[in-house]
Amino acid sequence: MTTKPKTRTERDSMGPMEVPADAYYGASTMRAVLNFPISNQRFPRSFIRALGLIKLAAARANMDLGLLDKRIGEAIVQAAQEMADGKLDDQFVVDIYQTGSGTSTNMNANEVIANRATEHLGGQRGARLAHPNDHVNMGQSSNDVIPTAIHLAALTAIHEQLAPALDELDVALRQKAKAFWGVIKTGRTHLQDATPIRLGQEFLGYAGQAEHGLKRLRHAREELSEVALGGTAVGTGVNTHPEFAARVCAILSDMTGVTVRETDNHFQAQNTLDAVVEASGVLKTIAISLNKIANDIRWMGSGPRAGLGELAIPEVQPGSSIMPGKVNPVIPESLIQVVAQVIGNDAAVVVAAQGSYFELNMMMPVAAHNLLQSIALLSASTHNFTAQCVRGLQATEKGPAMVEQGVMLATGLAPAIGYDAAAEIAKEAEKTGKTVREVAKQRTKLSDADLDRLLDPVKMVEPSVETAGRAGGG
């Protein structure tokens, strides 16, 4: 009885190398696996998909240009499509912490596609009927393919996941703003009582943050749409057809629904990560916006008795292993933890961008890992926050009930009696526990009708000609 061999011999420019018999990858990939036993972190699905689509589009472009044999090219297209679809994910075995250009992962893709294409051509793995360098990598270099894959992966993830999640949040917040418009509560500045505000106005502000996040994303997408493909080794385009990159970009744009265009300056496009830094900065800004929204909702839902208690947050799970009946705002907490990770990821991207020397950045894999993780985390956590928290929020009676007790209602008296007199009333109300209305009735000649008009919280939540020029700060 013969046993199936556990390895086969593959070759690269450094010579023979034993690889697992059932692997689609070859010698270069195996060397990288042995050279970089650093972590269990691999490029995410979004990146592998983008890289597969680039290889597919490259094969089509090279066939159209008459540079690649049609039979070999079609086999490469078929294999690259399988890679893009996730059917070969287990073959991408190289650690994130590898060669700074990402050459190991580019060769991982080239070898996997070549061996799978060889099977489609009727050969066995290792037969090289499709060659990883000569055919799959035709017209390309790791130095322009990897930054292009980073941009394409980020663009598609933003288009398919993050932008829809932010839009979904914007809609939900605007719906809550409308539903809460009639709820007037005490505003807060410096964590201290301020003049009244509509709960709906607060949520309109949150919706504005989501809206502006979408605007910032549009700018990031514009930056990422410019790709390095076509520059090959150092930006000069050596060994590639002058029309290659433009043709590949057109194919990619058609396949993905996102705009990808060849840069007009290949030297800056592949020797920097400037566009990635900007995109990561936008993600950090969005994260900070989400942090503010989640924290405000968490604080307004604090209690239920000893906190603010102005919002009832959906109860999704028990909050304590020791305190019966305790329920915590776990969905906002989850989002806030994602924010912390995104801020850390942005710092890693910034440091990675400093690894640009002469014609190449040599920290592309770690930049890709952190950028794409930020997009994925923000997408999932924003959707979850919308679905499991925002949509189920309810206003309580506690906010409106405290308005009459608010010391800063004295601001409404300033147009009639002046800032100093109103301040004295506020101080006395705070010291005695009386309401501003009660103190004002004792200390001024204002009638009940005057007090009703001046202390009407509805009139204090919008601009008024009657009180113009008397507003205070803080």
CA nearest neighbour of 308 among 398, 230, 235, 391: 398
The answer for residues whose C-beta is within 8 angstroms of residue 462's C-beta and 6 or more apart is: none
Alpha-carbon gap, residue 44 to 379, rounded angstroms: 15
Contact 152, 252 (CB under 8 A): yes
Alpha-carbon gap, residue 426 to 412, rounded angstroms: 11
Residue where the block lists tokens 């909702």? 297
Contact 94, 105 (CB under 8 A): yes
Respond yes or no: is residue 320 known to be catalytic: yes
Alpha-carbon gap, residue 439 to 442, rounded angstroms: 5
46, 141, 151, 190: which is the annotated catalytic residue?
190
- Tokens representing 449 are 């009708």
39, 320, 447, 464: which is the annotated catalytic residue?
320
Taking the mean position of all CA atoms in its chain, how far away is CA 375?
A: 3
Say which DSSP state 224 is in: H
Alpha-carbon gap, residue 249 to 252, rounded angstroms: 5
Alpha-carbon gap, residue 231 to 245, rounded angstroms: 9
Respond yes or no: is residue 190 known to be catalytic: yes
Q: Using DSSP bridges, classify how beta strands 356-357 and 311-312 pair: parallel, antiparallel or unpaired.
A: unpaired
- Tokens representing 286 are 């969005």
Residues carrying an active site annotation:
190, 320
